[in-house]
Amino acid sequence: MARLSCFGGVSAYISGNFQQYVPRAARDTWLWPGDENMTDIAPATDLDRTVGFTLPERHARGRIVRLGPVLNQILSAHNYPDPIERLLSEALTLTALLGSTLKQEGGQMTLQAQTKGGIVSLLVCDYRNGELRGYVQFDAERLAQLGKNPSVYALFNKGYLAITFDQEATKERYQGIVPLDGDTIAQAAENYFFQSEQIPSLVRIGLGRDADGQRIAGGIFLQHLPEGEVGRERLHARLDHPEWEHVAALASTMGADELADVALPLETLVWRLFNEESEVRVLPGVALSRGCRCDGEYIRQVLAKFPEADRATMADENGVISVDCAFCSRQYPVPAADFVSPPL
Ligand SMILES: [Zn+2]
C-alpha cells in the first residue's frame, strides 16, 4: 500500500505505484516542469555504466558504477537545493549498484527511504532494465535551516530504508526494511545488508563534477559470500572474517575523487584495487539510462475511482485536474468533465 500524498486536500491510500504522482496546485512550489529537451552531453568518457566483478579466491563479488549525463537528466526534471541533489545522487548511485545485480530481464529494484516528521519525508529510486529514476519529497523551509552538509540523520531523523527486489520471470518479491542508520546513504546500505541479509557489505560513493560543472557520481559495492553461500538464512555472518577484512581493506582505499573521475575507466579502478589478487573476473558492463514509466491512462483510472465531489476539489478554476509525475515532472492535465456521466 502506498500513500498518496495530499491529493487536492484528500488523503487516500491506494495500492500500486500511484504515489509517484503528485497534484499540481498553486501552493505546491516544489513541482517544476520537466525538461524533456535537455541537450545531450556527449559521453567522451566512461559514464553511465556499471561493471560487475568477482574475486573467486576471496569469495567476494562487487559492482562499480559511474553516473554522469543520466544523473543530470534525472536531476534536471526537478530544481532541488544542493543537499537534496546530493542525497538523490547518492541514492541513484546505490540504486544502480544494487539494481544491476538483478539477473533477470524485466526485474525491478526499488530503494525507498521514508520517515515521519523528518525534513525529507520520502526518497524513492528504482531500476529496471538499466533505467534509473528517482525523486525526493522534503520540507524546503526546514532544510534551509540546516548546514551545508547535513547527515542522513539530520535529513530523515528516525527513518526507514526499504529495498525491494521484484523478479519479473518468477513474480517473486523480496523486501527488507531496516532503520535508516548512519551518516550517509552508503552507510545505511551497509547496515541494511548486514542486518537484513546477513551479508558483510561495503559501499563507497563519491560525488564530483566534470570540467563543465555537471554532476558526476561514482560508487563501489562489495560483498562477502563465504564458501559460496548465497541464501538469506545465514546466521553466522562475520565482519571479522580474514577474507572479508582483506578485500574490504583494499576497497576502502578507493577515494571519492577516483570514483567520480570521468577519466578513469571502471575496469581500471577494479584493477587498481585488486591487482595483487590471484584472480579478478570482470563481468560485461551494463549501460544505464534515465527512464520513466508514468502512464496517463493509469492516472485516469485512479482519478475515476474518486467520488465526483472529491474530483471537483482537485480541479482548478478551469475544471482541469493537474497531475504531475513525481519522478520526471511530466504533466498530465485531465479535465474533470471527462468523468461526468452523460445525463440519461
Ligand atoms: Zn514520469
Task: CATH 3.55.30.10 in the chain: give the residue spans.
Answer: 41-290
What pLDDT was estimated at residue 183? Answer: 87
Question: How remote is the CA of residue 309 from the centroid of ligand 1, in Å?
Answer: 27
Question: How remote is the CA of residue 186 from the centroid of ligand 1, in Å?
Answer: 26
Question: How remote is the CA of residue 256 from the centroid of ligand 1, in Å?
Answer: 31
Question: How remote is the CA of residue 325 from the centroid of ligand 1, in Å?
Answer: 5
Give me the residues near ligand 1 (ion), CB cutoff below 5 Å.
Answer: 292, 294, 325, 327-328, 330
Question: How remote is the CA of residue 286 from the centroid of ligand 1, in Å?
Answer: 22
State the DSSP code for 271.
H
> Going residue by residue through the chain (344 aa), what tens digit of pLDDT does each one get?
332 232 222 222 233 344 555 544 333 322 222 323 333 333 357 899 999 999 999 999 999 999 999 999 999 999 999 999 999 999 999 999 999 998 878 899 999 999 988 999 999 999 999 999 999 999 999 999 998 889 888 999 999 999 999 988 888 898 999 888 888 999 999 999 888 888 899 999 999 999 999 999 999 999 998 765 555 445 566 777 889 999 999 999 999 999 999 999 999 999 999 999 999 999 988 999 999 999 999 999 999 999 988 998 999 999 999 999 999 999 999 999 888 765 66
Question: How remote is the CA of residue 132 from the centroid of ligand 1, in Å?
Answer: 11
Q: Among all chains, which residue has been given the C-alpha cell 563534477?
A: 209
Question: How remote is the CA of residue 77 from the centroid of ligand 1, in Å?
Answer: 10
Question: How remote is the CA of residue 60 from the centroid of ligand 1, in Å?
Answer: 36
CATH 3.10.450.50 fits 41-290, yes or no: no
Question: How remote is the CA of residue 255 from the centroid of ligand 1, in Å?
Answer: 34
DSSP characters over 132-179: EEEEEEE-HHHHHTS-SS--HHHHHSSEEEEEEEE-TTT--EEEEEEE
Question: How remote is the CA of residue 327 from the centroid of ligand 1, in Å?
Answer: 5
Question: How remote is the CA of residue 298 from the centroid of ligand 1, in Å?
Answer: 12
What pLDDT was estimated at residue 149? Answer: 86
* CA atoms in the 13 A half-sphere facing the CB of 216: 25
How many C-beta atoms lie closer than 10 Å to residue 148's C-beta? 7
Between the CA of residue 207 and those of 22, 71, 131, 159, 190, what are the distances in Å?
29, 11, 20, 23, 18
What pLDDT was estimated at residue 229? Answer: 52
Question: How remote is the CA of residue 51 from the centroid of ligand 1, in Å?
Answer: 27
Whole-model pTM: value is 0.83
What pLDDT was estimated at residue 240? Answer: 79
Question: How remote is the CA of residue 31 from the centroid of ligand 1, in Å?
Answer: 13
What pLDDT was estimated at residue 204? Answer: 96
